[in-house]
């Protein structure tokens, strides 16, 4: 039986994580092909509804990648995102999908290798958790 | 404004579990401001419901809408066509809105998605606090504009009690002592002598003791 390939959606800040993804590509590092990147102007734009919709439309996992603490161009967008991710995790637990399938990461624009590492780490976590219970239905 | 908070999703799910098509309808007034039942929250509740029900092996159609106010007929009536096409309605309004929909659409079951908690205001972003109990006989003039019924946990009309410490209430150390606030306010107004006036027992007949409270004004009837 083929190994389960999780489908992930990554909400990436255009000031850090998206640039990190470009660095990653420029230095020839591969990122897992199972991650769909949604570029956003700032993680402060991410709403709980965006995160829930990712799972509703069939993602096995999702994460938000924002700037390092204290480095948000819009002051505290990444901190707001962190709070929303925490609430969305609780809702996913309550619903039965599982909050572990959602995560928040922080990075700077130069952290290309870390971007790839983070994508692999999340992919591995979701692989261990298995397909989203919503996809099994 | 009226303050409310969302019920647990499992409780909401159990109310609408048996229906095939459900309308989740929000209110664009108080519950939008307290971020419990406006357009955005309708989306969140509908999304979580769809997922929760799917995991139970059910896939009812959950549609969404949000009107300006659920407590006035002219806005409620905008929902007529949509409500005719569903089996049940889940209202994310306060209890007033839920009852308005139930009264207007007599043959449709209407369920509450929120618990209506109080009348108050946002103290800061993400922190709402009760400030009025709606007793029907406002005495704010005697208390420097701070209501002891809503803001003193014991509802004392003559305070403070002995449990006030460092401006906080003994019932909850995170809660301001209502009577400390009254003292500070009267002090800043130069009216501190008022705190020595003994306030007579309140006439609670204007509260809920006579049943549903009504106001009828001929001058504004059309």
Q: Distance from B62 to chain A by nearest Cα, in Å?
A: 13
Which tokens belong to B7?
Answer: 């019920």
Say whether A95 and B40 touch across the interface (CB within 8 A). no
**In this structure, what DSSP letter does residue B7 have?**
P
Residue A105 reports pLDDT greater than 70: yes
B166: left (phi over 0), alpha (psi -120 to 50) or beta: left
Residues B191 and B87 in one domain: no
Range of the domain at A99: 8-136
Residues B14 and B79 in one domain: yes
Say whether A52 and B51 touch across the interface (CB within 8 A). yes
- What pLDDT, on the 0 to 100 scale, is given for residue A113? 86
- What pLDDT, on the 0 to 100 scale, is given for residue A23? 82
DSSP string, A50-75: HHHHHHHTT-SEEEEEEEPTT-BTTB
- What pLDDT, on the 0 to 100 scale, is given for residue B113? 98
Task: Please state, in angstroms and rounded to a whole number, the distance separating the CA atoms of residues A15 and A41.
Answer: 7
Task: Choose among A48, A49, A55: nearest Cβ to B51.
Answer: A55
Task: Please state, in angstroms and rounded to a whole number, the distance separating the CA atoms of residues B144 and B139.
Answer: 9
Confidence of residue A1 (pLDDT cuts 50, 70, 90): low
pLDDT, mean of residues A86-107: 96
Looking at the domain assignment, is residue B70 inside a domain?
A: yes
In A1-137, which ranges are E strands? 8-13, 35-40, 61-67, 102-107
Residues B113 and B138 in one domain: no
Task: Choose among A47, A53, A137: nearest Cβ to B57.
Answer: A137
- What pLDDT, on the 0 to 100 scale, is given for residue B208? 82
Residues of B with CB under 8 A from a CB of A: 8-10, 40, 43-44, 47-48, 50-52, 54-55, 57
Looking at the domain assignment, is residue B124 inside a domain?
A: no
Task: Please state, in angstroms and rounded to a whole number, the distance separating the CA atoms of residues A132 and A8.
Answer: 11
In A87-106, the residues whose Cβ lies within 8 Å of chain B are: 91, 94-97
Residues B33 and B96 in one domain: yes
CATH number for A86: 3.40.50
Looking at the domain assignment, is residue B129 inside a domain?
A: no
Which letter, b or e, does each residue of B122-138 get, where b requires 16 or more Cβ atoms within 10 Å of its Cβ?
A: eeeeeebeebebebeee
Say whether A94 and B51 touch across the interface (CB within 8 A). no
Range of the domain at B77: 2-117
Confidence of residue A112 (pLDDT cuts 50, 70, 90): confident
Residues B88 and B168 in one domain: no
- What pLDDT, on the 0 to 100 scale, is given for residue A109? 82
- What pLDDT, on the 0 to 100 scale, is given for residue A29? 78
- What pLDDT, on the 0 to 100 scale, is given for residue A137? 59
Domain count, chain A: 1
- What pLDDT, on the 0 to 100 scale, is given for residue A27? 83
- Is residue B6 classed as helix, strand or coil in its secondary structure? strand
Looking at the domain assignment, is residue A1 inside a domain?
A: no
Residues B7 and B110 in one domain: yes
Which letter, b or e, does each residue of B150-180 get, where b requires 16 or more Cβ atoms within 10 Å of its Cβ?
A: bbbebeebebbeeebeeeebeeeeeebbbbb
Most confident of A15-19, A113-117, B176-180: B176-180
Looking at the domain assignment, is residue A98 inside a domain?
A: yes
Backbone angles phi, psi at B203, to 5 degrees: -85, 105
Say whether B48 and A91 touch across the interface (CB within 8 A). yes
pLDDT in tens, A51-94: 999 999 999 999 999 998 888 999 999 999 999 999 999 999 99
Question: Could you say which residues of chain B have pLDDT below 70?
Answer: none
Confidence of residue A31 (pLDDT cuts 50, 70, 90): confident
Contacts of A133 in chain B (CB under 8 A): 55
């Amino acid at each position: 039986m083929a190994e389960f390939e999780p489908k992930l959606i990554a909400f990436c800040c255009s000031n850090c994580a998206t640039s990190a993804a470009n660095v990653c590509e420029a230095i020839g590092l591969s990122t897992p092909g199972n991650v769909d990147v949604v570029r956003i102007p700032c993680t402060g734009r991410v709403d709980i509804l965006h995160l829930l919709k990712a799972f509703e439309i069939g993602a096995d996992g999702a994460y938000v990648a924002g700037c390092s603490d204290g480095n948000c161009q819009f002051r505290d967008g990444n901190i707001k995102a962190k709070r929303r991710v925490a609430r969305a995790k609780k809702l996913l637990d309550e619903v039965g999908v599982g909050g572990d399938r959602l995560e928040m990461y922080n990075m700077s624009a130069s952290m290309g290798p870390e971007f790839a590492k983070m994508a692999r780490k999340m992919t591995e976590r979701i692989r261990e958790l298995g397909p989203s219970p919503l996809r099994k239905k | 404004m009226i303050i409310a908070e969302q019920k647990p999703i499992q409780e909401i799910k159990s109310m609408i579990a048996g229906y095939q098509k459900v309308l989740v309808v929000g209110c664009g007034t108080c519950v939008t401001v307290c971020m419990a039942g406006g357009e955005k929250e309708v989306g969140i509740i509908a999304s979580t419901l769809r997922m929760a029900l799917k995991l139970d092996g059910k896939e009812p159609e959950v549609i969404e809408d949000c009107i300006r106010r659920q407590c006035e007929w002219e806005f409620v009536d905008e929902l007529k066509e949509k409500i005719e096409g569903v089996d049940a309605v889940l209202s994310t309004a306060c209890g007033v809105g839920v009852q308005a929909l139930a009264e207007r659409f007599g043959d449709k079951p209407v369920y509450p998605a929120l618990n209506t908690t109080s009348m108050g205001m946002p103290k800061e972003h993400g922190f709402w606090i009760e400030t009025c109990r709606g007793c029907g006989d406002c005495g704010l003039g005697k208390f420097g504009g701070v209501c002891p019924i809503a803001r003193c946990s014991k509802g004392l009309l003559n305070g403070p009690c002995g449990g006030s410490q460092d401006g906080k209430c003994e019932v909850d150390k995170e809660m301001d002592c209502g009577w400390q606030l009254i003292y500070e306010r009267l002090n800043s107004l130069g009216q501190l002598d008022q705190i020595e006036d003994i306030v007579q027992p309140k006439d609670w007949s204007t509260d809920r003791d006579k049943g549903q409270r009504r106001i009828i004004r001929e001058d504004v009837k059309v």
